[in-house]
């Protein structure tokens, strides 16, 4: 039913400033601008590798303005590509999963999915020419109590094979969870996790916010070039291996990216913590 993560939607106070930041760091391309009346928002869509990043700026009352006023993270929704969007809608209807069509996209709120805090937007899958330094978005991190229930529900709604799921646990970041991988040959997944150490940043965030989308991850096709830009524009703000010109993994903190916590990994490196370390390729 679904093939990959193909976009993220984020709420911003200024699309112009957000575009400047993403272009400066990743060489994104603006592919279109429009409005989403149902959300009360103007939208700028960026090409981020083969993925899209939708910047939603309130232009009236609506869900986006409400999100900005209430949520400590601007991440609004995770976007999944549907192999056949019409067929996907029919399947959701047959399973009694409420959804809403808006133009060429289909919306599912967390309460409709049965997964609190997980807003999803479905878009017809398509092949896109990559733009910029990034390769693709491959992970969205979702926080909730009872991550196993979330994984089970996502499997049932979207016809996912639990054999592709990978249990994870981190003492460093204080959580346990499940990588809900969509397909065996790809990294794309929703990382649904339960913070277990409330003294850690994720645990403190969860205590304040409750179930929600927390961050997302992308693979970078040109990590050396990104490292140069981070050193130039963010100096000491980014977090990662500074001894290597081509870091395997790094983080761009929210204060540097209009409130978004972004993870960046070198291509294939995420297989290391996804159950298949033999798939990791050496740095070029």
Say if residue 160 is exposed, middle or buried (CB neighbours under 10 Å; 0-12, 13-18, 19+). Answer: buried
Phi-psi region of 97 (alpha: psi -120 to 50; beta: other; left: phi over 0): beta
Cβ 139 vs Cβ 187: under 8 Å: yes
For the record, the structure tokens of 215 come out as 């961050």
Taking the C-alpha atoms of residue 238 and residue 198, their distance in angstroms, rounded to an integer, is 23
Q: What is the pLDDT of residue 236?
A: 85
What b/e sequence results for 110-131 when a residue is b if at least 16 CB atoms lie within 10 Å of its CB, and e otherwise?
bebbbbbbbbbbbbebeeeeeb
Q: Are 19 and 107 in contact (CB under 8 A)?
A: no
pLDDT value of residue 282: 81
| pLDDT average per 10 residues of sequence, the chain (284 residues) | 97 97 97 95 98 96 94 95 96 96 94 97 96 98 96 97 96 96 96 96 95 97 95 92 93 96 97 94 72
pLDDT of 235? 85
Domains defined for the chain, CATH in brackets:
2-124 (3.10.180.10), 134-279 (3.10.180.10)
pTM above 0.85, yes or no: yes
Is the separation of the CB atoms in 139 and 6 below 8 Å? no
- According to DSSP, residue 49 is labeled B
pLDDT value, residue 27: 97
Q: Collapsing DSSP states into helix, strand and coil, what is residue 33? A: strand
Distance of alpha carbon 92 from alpha carbon 157, whole angstroms: 7
In the block, tokens 């054999």 appear at 163
**Residue 284, pLDDT score:** 52
Residue 218 in tokens: 């992308």
Inter-CA distances, 199 with 145, 196, 247, Å: 16, 9, 28
Question: Residue 224 to residues 180, 186, 268: CA-CA distances in angstroms?
Answer: 30, 24, 15
């Amino acid at each position: 039913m679904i093939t990959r993560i193909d976009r993220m939607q984020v709420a911003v106070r200024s699309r112009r400033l957000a575009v400047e930041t993403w272009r400066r760091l990743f060489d994104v391309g603006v592919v279109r601008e429009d409005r989403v009346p149902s959300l009360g928002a103007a939208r700028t869509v960026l090409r981020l590798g083969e993925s899209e990043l939708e910047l939603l700026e309130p232009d009236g009352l609506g869900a986006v303005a409400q999100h900005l006023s209430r949520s400590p993270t601007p991440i609004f929704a995770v976007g999944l590509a549907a192999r056949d969007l019409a067929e996907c809608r029919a399947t959701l209807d047959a399973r009694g999963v409420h959804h809403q069509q808006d133009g060429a996209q289909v919306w599912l709120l967390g309460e409709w999915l049965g997964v609190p805090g997980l807003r999803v937007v479905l878009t017809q899958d398509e092949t896109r020419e990559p733009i910029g330094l990034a390769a693709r978005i491959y992970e969205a991190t979702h926080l909730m109590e009872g991550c196993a229930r979330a994984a089970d529900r996502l499997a049932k709604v979207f016809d996912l094979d639990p054999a592709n799921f990978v249990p994870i646990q981190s003492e460093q970041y204080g959580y346990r969870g499940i990588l809900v991988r969509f397909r065996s040959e790809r990294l794309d997944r929703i990382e649904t996790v339960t913070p277990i150490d409330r003294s850690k940043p994720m645990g403190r965030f969860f205590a304040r916010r409750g179930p929600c989308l927390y961050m997302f991850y992308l693979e970078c096709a040109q990590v050396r070039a990104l490292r140069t830009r981070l050193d130039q524009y963010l100096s000491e703000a980014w977090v990662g291996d500074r001894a290597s010109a081509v870091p395997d993994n790094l983080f761009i903190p929210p204060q540097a990216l209009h409130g978004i916590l972004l993870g960046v990994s070198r291509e294939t490196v995420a297989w290391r913590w996804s159950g298949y370390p033999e798939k990791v390729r050496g740095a070029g």
